[in-house]
């Protein structure tokens, strides 16, 4: 009888977390659910482990990674926190907020994790599986989305399996992710201004509510958020946006009154649309139709983060994505 291969997929229960923590300690990669999307985690303090993430994703090495920590105390060992950073952490951590802050010179992090930049991106996630993994490892975890670079982000374990199945050491299956869109990224600059580097589940209004009026929120130049390439989240087929009626050969993703083969939200609920966006793009990618069309989504609240991802999904592919 052939020996059965140990399964790569575990529940995030005691056994699954123990195996995952061992894989991480040894420098391997673990796909793990967070409240945003599934992350591909590796220890952030070792160059070899971090290199494993870039290799598995096929990610260009100029695109830095987010470092996940269990709490603000751990975060402060890696970056300099001014009053604004402390206030944002107090308001939104644990949660879907990433802050780009000055990297401490004595930070015990691999150089590759921030791609040689003087800043580091930090997040304290809320999902119980990710939190449990962080606490068990006692290590900072670098974790970009668990998909091949440029592809659609995963919101369930099956998406990870399809995209990275033979490239990841272990998958923790915690079901579908709640928010469905990557974290909001805020850059806090030395001159007192701040920038929304990536829209996400926390809106610009949420951030401004803490940092106060007069803060400048501008979408940053590429140099500041090197991962924000025009073409990203690509489902592998042409995508047409703001469509109310599908043309021949199009798979229509509906929203509200616009009914398609699937819908982001039949009731026009933006939070539900965010949670379903990537699952709908995965379905559209797997459908027999050659083309994808998407209904208009209002550009308010989290709708602006949805539209940001849709525009990147629709952009022409370019090198480096």
Which residue number, 188 or 292, has a Cβ lying nearer to ligand AMP? 188
User: Shortest distance, CB of residue 73 to Mg ion, whole angstroms?
Assistant: 27
Give least dist CB 182 to ligand AMP, A: 5
Alpha helices (H) along 124-269: 128-137, 157-164, 204-211
- Of the two residues 185 and 305, which places its CB atom closer to ligand AMP in the complex? 185
Q: Can you tell me the distance from the alpha carbon of 204 to that of 301, in angstroms, rounded to the nearest whole number?
A: 8
Q: Cβ 259 to ligand AMP, closest distance in Å?
A: 31
34 versus 145: smaller Cβ distance to Mg ion: 145
Binding partner at 102 among Mg ion, ligand AMP, none, C-beta below 5 to 8 Å by kind: none
185 binds, among ligand AMP, Mg ion, none (CB under 5 to 8 A by kind): ligand AMP
CB of 129 to ligand AMP, least distance (A): 17
Handedness of CA 61, 42, 8, 147 (dihedral sign): negative
- Report if residue 183 touches Mg ion, rule: CB under 5 A: no
Instruction: From 138-146, 190-198, 239-247, 305-313, give the range in contact with Mg ion by CB under 5 A.
Output: 138-146
When the beta carbons of 228 and 272 are compared against ligand AMP, the nearer one is: 228
Measured from the CB atom, the residue of 145 and 215 that comes closer to Mg ion is 145
Other C-beta atoms lying within 10 Å of the C-beta of residue 236: 14
Stretch that binds Mg ion, among 40-48, 116-124, 141-149, 304-312 (CB under 5 A): 141-149
In 44-143, the DSSP E strands lie at: 66-68, 97-102, 119-123, 141-142
User: What is the side-by-side order of every strand in the sheet holding 119-123?
Assistant: 9-10, 170-172, 30-33, 38-43, 141-142, 66-68, 119-123, 97-102, 184-188, 194-198
Say how far residue 156 (Cα) sits from the centre of its chain: 13
For ligand AMP, the closer of residues 226 and 296 by Cβ is 226
Under the binding rule (CB under 5 A), the answer on residue 145 touching Mg ion is: yes
> Under the criterion CB under 5 A, does residue 34 sit at the interface with Mg ion?
no
In the complex with Mg ion, the residue whose CB is nearer, 114 or 145, is 145
Q: How far is the CB of 196 from ligand AMP (least distance, A)?
A: 12
CB of 75 to ligand AMP, least distance (A): 14
Q: Which pair of tokens denotes residue 263?
A: 């819908």
Cα angle 140-145-149, degrees, rounded to a multiple of 5 = 120
Least separation in angstroms between CB 284 and ligand AMP: 20
Q: Beta strands 250-254 and 291-294: pairing type?
A: parallel
Sequence length of the chain is: 321
Total residues at the site for Mg ion (CB under 5 A)?
A: 1
From ligand AMP, Mg ion, none, which one binds at residue 243 (CB under 5 to 8 Å depending on kind)?
none
* Non-local CB neighbours of 170 within 8 Å, separated by 6+ positions: 8, 9, 10, 19, 20, 23, 28, 29, 30, 31
Summarize as ranges the residues that interact with ligand AMP (CB under 6 A): 63-64, 66, 100, 114, 117, 119-121, 144-145, 182, 185, 197-198, 224-228
E strand intervals along the chain = 9-10, 30-33, 38-43, 66-68, 97-102, 119-123, 141-142, 170-172, 184-188, 194-198, 239-240, 250-254, 262-263, 291-294
| Nearest residue (beta carbon) to Mg ion | 145
Report the distance separating Cα 42 and Cα 116, nearest Å. 18
Cβ-closest residue to ligand AMP?
227
Residues that bind Mg ion (CB under 5 A): 145
């Amino acid at each position: 009888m052939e020996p059965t291969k140990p399964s790569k997929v575990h529940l995030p229960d005691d056994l699954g977390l123990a195996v995952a923590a061992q894989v991480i300690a040894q420098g391997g990669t673990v796909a793990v659910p967070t409240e945003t999307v599934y992350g591909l985690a590796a220890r952030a303090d070792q160059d070899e482990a971090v290199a494993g993430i870039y290799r598995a994703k096929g990610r260009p090495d100029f695109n830095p990674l987010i470092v996940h920590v269990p709490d603000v105390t751990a975060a402060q060992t890696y970056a300099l926190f001014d009053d604004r950073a402390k206030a944002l952490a107090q308001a939104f951590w644990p949660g879907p907020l990433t802050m780009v802050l000055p990297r401490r010179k004595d930070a015990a992090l691999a150089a590759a994790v921030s791609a040689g930049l003087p800043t580091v991106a930090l997040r304290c996630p809320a999902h119980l599986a990710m939190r449990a993994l962080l606490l068990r490892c006692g290590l900072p975890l670098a974790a970009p989305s668990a998909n091949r670079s440029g592809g659609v982000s995963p919101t369930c374990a099956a998406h990870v399996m399809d995209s990275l199945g033979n490239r990841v050491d272990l998958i923790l299956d915690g079901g579908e992710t709640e928010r469905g869109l990557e974290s909001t990224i805020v850059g806090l600059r030395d001159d007192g201004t701040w920038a929304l580097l990536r829209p996400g589940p926390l809106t610009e209004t949420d951030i401004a509510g803490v940092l106060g009026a007069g803060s400048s929120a501008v979408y940053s130049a590429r140099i500041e958020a090197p991962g924000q390439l025009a073409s990203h989240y690509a489902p592998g087929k042409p995508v047409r946006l703001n469509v109310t009626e599908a043309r021949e050969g199009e798979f229509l993703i509906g929203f509200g009154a616009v009914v398609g083969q699937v819908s982001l939200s039949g009731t026009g609920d933006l939070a539900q649309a965010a949670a379903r966006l990537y699952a709908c793009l995965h379905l559209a990618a797997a459908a027999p139709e050659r083309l994808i069309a998407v209904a208009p989504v209002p550009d308010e609240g989290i709708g602006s983060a949805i539209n940001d991802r849709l525009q990147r999904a629709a952009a022409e592919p370019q090198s480096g994505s």
